[in-house]
Structure 1
Amino acid sequence: MPMLTDPSKKYLPYTAVPFPADYIRQWPNRRTTVAPTWLSTDLRDGNQALVNPMSNTTKLELFREIVRCGFKQIEVAYPSASDQEFQFVRSIIENGEVPDDVSLQIITPARPDLIKRSIDSLAGTRHAIIHLYNAVSPVFREVVFRNTKEQTIELTLNAVKLVKKLTEEETARSGTHFTLNYCLETFSQTEAEFAVELGNRVLETWGKATPNDKIMFNLAATVECAPSNYYADMVEYFSTHINQRDSVIISIHPHNDRGTAVAAAELGLLAGGDRIEGCLLGNGERTGNVDLITLALNMYSQGVSPGLDFSRLAETVALVCRCNEMEIPVRYPYAGQLVFSAFAGTHQDAIKKGLDAQATRWAQVDRSGKGIKYWAMPYIPLDPKDLGYGYENLIRVSSQSGKAGAAYVIKQTMALDLPRKMQVTFYKVVQEKSERIGKEMTAPLIMTAFKQAYCLDSKPIGRLFLHSYRLFPLSPSSREPSSPVSDYSDDPQTLIQSEDAGSLLRFEGDLSVDGIRRTVRGDGLGPVLAILEALRTDLNLELNICESAAQTINADSPSHTKTATFIEMSLAGALPGEPSFGNVWGVGVSSDVSTSKCRAVVSAANQLVGGREFPRPRNVFSPHTISEAGGDNWLQEVKLRTGRLLSRSAERERPDSLNIKTRAQT
């Protein structure tokens, strides 16, 4: 049957709560500043909703986790329903599983034969709560029970009298202290005036509620049949009309039929609620109970301590799911695997900027000792670390992501803070690979793509690979090396030295070109211009520098600090449409500043060479040392370009070959 075009012919809207016309609601102007009392009903309300109810062994495991999380009131069973339920209550009491500050609650219908067995199950525990219930809404009174209002009141009061008598007798025997929690089942569908009338009659019949020993009224939204604001109106009406309000605890028990149980619970607290009943992850009949994890962490994210410990949330969630044989969506609030993950580029960019700004702000607090390290992050309302998660899942990269996502992963995994323009070019690499494999780009895949794109490896990846190099200061007048540079370094923030500030250097590098090692040489002001000249002279590869940046990578100790150099370069004379046309970035990392610069140049060159052919190595004269024993006699009569013969005595007077320090490629 198709949906009705006019559903009003079949479904009736909720009726208004009978506030006076001039009444001003209090709950819209309130704010939650303290946590409520929490009751976990996972072992009863949650368990009864399972396809395969938990064994007592499983219930004990979950009970222990609920206690660890900090719940002080736990509904553990429906002891009159079966021997298994009864025995579970007895076992946790007799085996000392119940801490002194934890109260056990059991549920019983308003039937005399079931009430006694329920009370018997609690004998000997320190504090027990009797959850007595009966449905009181018109549809249950008239259809299910066929009772009038008067008959419903009489049935309820007779049950309350019996509970009072039996609990007083048990207190005399075992010392167990009992609290009555009377549940107006189907409260959300009950006339507000009748609910108050019934509540006041129960309060009168119980007859011993005081501010120090309060009675509880469970206002159950057994079926969520109206908006959350309507439930808040119902709670406020009951709260403002019940007698002895200072001796009453109003317990909120929303269900999730409309998908707004958490909202109803939050508004119910503003309307006068003191206690929340629900389940971890919202397990329960039909669409479930209110989710206590979501509700508690909503408060936590607003600076209100819930008094519950979810700092090992992943473990708690896994246990609850296993015990209940259930799964939760990956985007379930707080508990889902992807709730702290961003795939969209705009979200990633905002999160990355937020993390950077927050790190700066928190560092300032540490330095000054003033201010608060408050959490203020785009898209992430709560610090995942508070729940036992890390930041590795904050940004996940796919073909739909943007530059910030891939850059964030590189920063987290390799500590490299890429320049903005470089982020754009690298993401194109990531996006192309993601589209090719049709999957998410995980952190290891992104790292591999980065190293391959920029030839970052201890072994050759591209056509060019710098094994080692030497730098010689040159005399400005003679252009000849004066002495080798043994520990050349410069400011990591200055890539290319000016002619006035820099030194004229000769670069001599051991370079693999298409797998064949050769030596290249070039002169320039600073190591970058010197290696560029070497590539131009020996490989006919003329490169232009566009932009540059540098970064100090701090390690645990100063001796392990490294420098990262980023250089944007282009190929001189390249024409549009050629494979090598356009600007590329190179990356170099080393504990030595000059080495990081030289590696960055070679990294960029690898992306620009394309398939071009390189000239053959030039023959460069290298002087030989002549031994005293007369080796290399053939050289004695060779006429050099000076026109003089080189005698043995002259050779002995010649300085030894230069002792040159070599920086090995690592």
Structure 2
Amino acid sequence: MPMLKRASDKYSAFKGPSLPDRTWPSNKITKPPRWLSTDLRDGNQALASPMNPEQKWTYFQMLVDIGFKEIEVGFPASSEMDFQFAQRCVLDGPPDVWLEVMTPCRKDFIRRTVDAVKGAKKIIVSLYIATSDNFIDTIFSTTREAQLRTAVEHARYLKAVTKDDPAHKDTTWALMWSPEAFSDTDPDFAIEICRAVKEAWEPSAEVPIILNLPATVEMSSPNIFADQVEIFSRGFSGDPTVCVSLHNHNDRGCAVAAAELGQLAGATRVEGCLFGNGERTGNVDLVTLALNLYTQGIDPGLDFSDLPRIRQIVEQLTQIPVHTRAPYAGDSVFVAYSGGHQDAINKGFKRWNATADDDKHARPRPWKVPYLAMDPHDIGASYEAVIRVNSQSGKGGIAWVLSQALQLEAPKAILGAFSLAVKSESELKGRTLLPNEVTNLFLRQYNVQSQDQRVLSLVKTALNTSDSGSLVRVETVILVNGLARQLVGHGASTLDAVRFGLSAFADCRLEFTCTFGMPSAGFVNSDLPESSVIAIVMCSGGGRTTWGVKAAGTEEQATLLASLSAALFPVVQAAA
């Protein structure tokens, strides 16, 4: 069936609550929420091939390493596997981590769940019941009043077999109560049923009840969800025995935004999965939510310093690839292909790095690099992957690659000419060029590794004079129009000596400037050792500007070879 011309014949706009005096738009997030990972339950049940116990244990340990202090470990009453896994987490998991286990309002399930976590230090029992009129009518054919009675009855039962039971006196018990499908529930009824459950459970300020608000299906735009959360939060305003929590799904693609606005509206805890795994379109993405805080200057309390490794583990265990455009974690997040973006990023990095030289105390510098929301290094990404060169790239992208691979700040004239060769190579291959391919093309294009056949001999000598201090003497024999010519020059440096000798030879004043580079660790080229020095020399005089690019074992040797190449055998020429 095709899409309807009049969508209103089949679908109606969600009717949110009225809240003209809403306050959340003026609030700011200043600290992280309590985090709970539900990867091992909600995320696991959404997998085509659910994780086996060893895989779940690997995932659990990763969550602990990241810094999660609340982890949902499963649905112990649903299967023997989940029951045993919960027991393993109790026995082998760290004692400072709250283990959350889920059960519906069924006394046999509650009993089985409590048995699974016997001996634990800290346990959150997640109870839930449907509160949406649609769920109550369609699924259960019951009433609000009946649901409320059932909720209170089971909260009391849970209390009796946990914190009121002397057999469990060494365990700290917390209740998380969820009005299922809160996003489609009358806020007044949500408050009513949660108040009744709270009174039955009798929480304390030390261990508050968690009132969890599931957007079981995302029904509206984030601002309407925030209104719902604020109305609910007002119902428990100032109550230290209550923690308002969020469990957002992503049916409309707004889970992250809804969770952020929900915090502005009063929630102080968030449940979700790494990279947004979960049923249908997934739960809220905790990686994005946490790093959004980080890039606003707020420590999220979760460590994603090695995000590529975390992503690799998650992809292996869930068999779900992280999208290439996923925030922060995707392969293409920090990558720029277009020339304009590349130039801006390259300039941004230069300015940012320059501030390091001005900071005597080596404090972190404010991050202000165009197009990059954060420093890739902070989450374990490399700078080499920031810019990819293809036929759409410009001088800025090529400059970036050369600076990363060769630590070389190539002049614009060199880059302008070289960019044409790069575009041609990319079009010929029909793909993006790897950094090593760009760099090796540069070395070939300008004969950087080749010995200049017109330099027949070259001798540099250090001279000590009593009057003027140390001098450098350069003697070289070069071929000019097929004839061997001797050139001799003196100067305070190699560049001065070459300038002196060549100026006399050319019968005009020549000026030289030099830029140096050196292969970075990891650059692969068998003909160019890491200890090599690359010199780019610009020679100006006689109405023209020429360039030479050479590599050698020392700065002086590379300077000498590049200077001769620039003056006599230029690889680039432009109007002076």
Structure 1 length-normalised TM: 0.76
Partner of 2:381: 389
Contact map agreement 1:34 1:304 (CA 8 A) in 2: yes
Contact map agreement 2:39 2:274 (CA 8 A) in 1: yes
Partner of 1:413: 405
3-state DSSP class of the match of 1:168?
coil
Do residues 277 (structure 1) and 239 (structure 2) align? no
* CA gap 1:486/1:18 in 2 versus in 1, 3 angstroms: closer
Shift of 1:213: 2.1
Partner of 2:25: 28
3-state DSSP class of the match of 1:57?
helix
Do residues 179 (structure 1) and 174 (structure 2) align? yes
Q: Distance in 2 between matches of 1:311 and 1:370?
A: 20
Out of 555, 562, 565, the position equivalent to 1:599 is 562
Q: Distance in 1 between matches of 2:372 and 2:145?
A: 53
Q: Distance in 2 between matches of 1:233 and 1:175?
A: 40
Q: Distance in 1 between matches of 2:32 and 2:72?
A: 19
* CA gap 1:567/1:134 in 2 versus in 1, 3 angstroms: same
* CA gap 1:406/1:147 in 2 versus in 1, 3 angstroms: same
Do residues 150 (structure 1) and 139 (structure 2) align? no
Out of 350, 354, 357, the position equivalent to 1:363 is 357
Out of 514, 518, 522, the position equivalent to 1:550 is 514
Q: Distance in 2 between matches of 1:338 and 1:289?
A: 22
After TM superposition, the structure 1 stretch with the greater mean CA deviation from structure 2, 72-81 or 113-122, is 113-122
Contact map agreement 2:408 2:516 (CA 8 A) in 1: no
3-state DSSP class of the match of 1:392?
helix
Contact map agreement 1:354 1:377 (CA 8 A) in 2: yes
* CA gap 1:246/1:126 in 2 versus in 1, 3 angstroms: same
* CA gap 1:304/1:353 in 2 versus in 1, 3 angstroms: same
3-state DSSP class of the match of 2:15?
coil
Contact map agreement 2:463 2:473 (CA 8 A) in 1: no
After TM superposition, the structure 1 stretch with the greater mean CA deviation from structure 2, 184-193 or 593-602, is 593-602
Q: Which amino acid aligns with 1:429?
A: A
Out of 233, 236, 240, the position equivalent to 2:227 is 233
Contact map agreement 1:523 1:533 (CA 8 A) in 2: no
Do residues 313 (structure 1) and 307 (structure 2) align? yes
Q: Distance in 2 between matches of 1:210 and 1:603?
A: 80
Q: Which amino acid aligns with 2:46?
A: A
Do residues 564 (structure 1) and 528 (structure 2) align? no
Out of 536, 540, 549, the position equivalent to 1:587 is 549
Q: Distance in 1 between matches of 2:479 and 2:458?
A: 8
Shift of 1:567: 2.2
Q: Distance in 1 between matches of 2:147 and 2:118?
A: 29
Out of 95, 110, 133, the position equivalent to 1:100 is 95
Do residues 264 (structure 1) and 235 (structure 2) align? no
3-state DSSP class of the match of 1:178?
strand
Residues 120-170 of structure 1 deviation map (CA, whole Å, 9 limit, x = unaligned): 111100010110011211111111111111112112112212111111354
3-state DSSP class of the match of 1:440?
coil
* CA gap 1:554/1:414 in 2 versus in 1, 3 angstroms: closer
Q: Which amino acid aligns with 2:73?
A: V
Contact map agreement 1:157 1:201 (CA 8 A) in 2: yes
Q: Which amino acid aligns with 2:213?
A: L
* CA gap 1:594/1:131 in 2 versus in 1, 3 angstroms: closer
User: Which segments of 5 or more consecutive residues in structure 1 lack a partner in the other structure?
Assistant: 472-484, 489-502, 537-541, 573-581, 611-666
* CA gap 1:543/1:340 in 2 versus in 1, 3 angstroms: farther
3-state DSSP class of the match of 2:247?
strand
Partner of 1:451: 443
Q: Which amino acid aligns with 1:406?
A: I
Q: Which amino acid aligns with 1:6?
A: R
Q: Distance in 1 between matches of 2:158 and 2:209?
A: 13
Matches within 5 A, 1:493-532: 508-509=476-477, 519-522=484-487, 527-528=498-499, 530-531=501-502
Q: Distance in 1 between matches of 2:570 and 2:221?
A: 61
* CA gap 1:300/1:465 in 2 versus in 1, 3 angstroms: farther
Matches within 5 A, 1:398-409: 398-409=390-401
Shift of 1:600: 4.0
Shift of 1:313: 1.1
Do residues 468 (structure 1) and 457 (structure 2) align? yes
**Aligned Cα root-mean-square deviation (Å):** 3.2
Partner of 1:60: 57
Shift of 1:301: 0.9
Contact map agreement 2:136 2:144 (CA 8 A) in 1: yes
Partner of 2:155: 160
Do residues 38 (structure 1) and 27 (structure 2) align? no
Contact map agreement 2:255 2:283 (CA 8 A) in 1: yes
Do residues 115 (structure 1) and 107 (structure 2) align? no
Out of 360, 371, 381, the position equivalent to 1:379 is 371
Shift of 1:606: 5.0
Partner of 1:135: 130
Alignment coverage as a number of residue pairs: 551
Structure 2 length-normalised TM: 0.88
* CA gap 1:44/1:571 in 2 versus in 1, 3 angstroms: farther
Contact map agreement 2:548 2:571 (CA 8 A) in 1: no
3-state DSSP class of the match of 1:198?
helix
Residues 637-656 of structure 1 deviation map (CA, whole Å, 9 limit, x = unaligned): xxxxxxxxxxxxxxxxxxxx
Do residues 212 (structure 1) and 199 (structure 2) align? no
Q: Which amino acid aligns with 1:47?
A: N
Q: Which amino acid aligns with 1:307?
A: G
* CA gap 1:289/1:584 in 2 versus in 1, 3 angstroms: farther
Q: Distance in 2 between matches of 1:569 and 1:236?
A: 70
Shift of 1:91: 2.0
* CA gap 1:568/1:140 in 2 versus in 1, 3 angstroms: farther
Shift of 1:407: 1.1
Partner of 2:121: 126
* CA gap 1:544/1:420 in 2 versus in 1, 3 angstroms: farther
Shift of 1:373: 1.9
Shift of 1:372: 5.4
Q: Distance in 1 between matches of 2:6 and 2:85?
A: 50
Q: Distance in 1 between matches of 2:508 and 2:421?
A: 22
Q: Which amino acid aligns with 1:46?
A: G
Larger radius of gyration: 1
Q: Which amino acid aligns with 1:215?
A: I
Q: Distance in 2 between matches of 1:327 and 1:294?
A: 16
Q: Which amino acid aligns with 2:263?
A: L
Q: Distance in 2 between matches of 1:415 and 1:467?
A: 30
Q: Distance in 1 between matches of 2:567 and 2:137?
A: 83
* CA gap 1:602/1:82 in 2 versus in 1, 3 angstroms: same
Contact map agreement 1:570 1:608 (CA 8 A) in 2: no
Matches within 5 A, 1:184-203: 184-203=179-198
Partner of 2:80: 83
* CA gap 1:608/1:77 in 2 versus in 1, 3 angstroms: closer
After TM superposition, the structure 1 stretch with the greater mean CA deviation from structure 2, 125-134 or 234-243, is 234-243
Shift of 1:543: 12
Q: Distance in 2 between matches of 1:274 and 1:604?
A: 69
Partner of 1:654: none
Q: Which amino acid aligns with 2:93?
A: V
Shift of 1:467: 5.5
Partner of 1:661: none
Contact map agreement 1:232 1:268 (CA 8 A) in 2: yes
Give percent identity, aligned residues only: 36
Partner of 1:475: none
3-state DSSP class of the match of 1:319?
helix
* CA gap 1:313/1:595 in 2 versus in 1, 3 angstroms: closer
* CA gap 1:244/1:605 in 2 versus in 1, 3 angstroms: same
Q: Distance in 2 between matches of 1:277 and 1:337?
A: 25
Q: Distance in 2 between matches of 1:172 and 1:149?
A: 35
Q: Distance in 2 between matches of 1:439 and 1:321?
A: 26
Shift of 1:304: 0.5
Partner of 1:51: 48
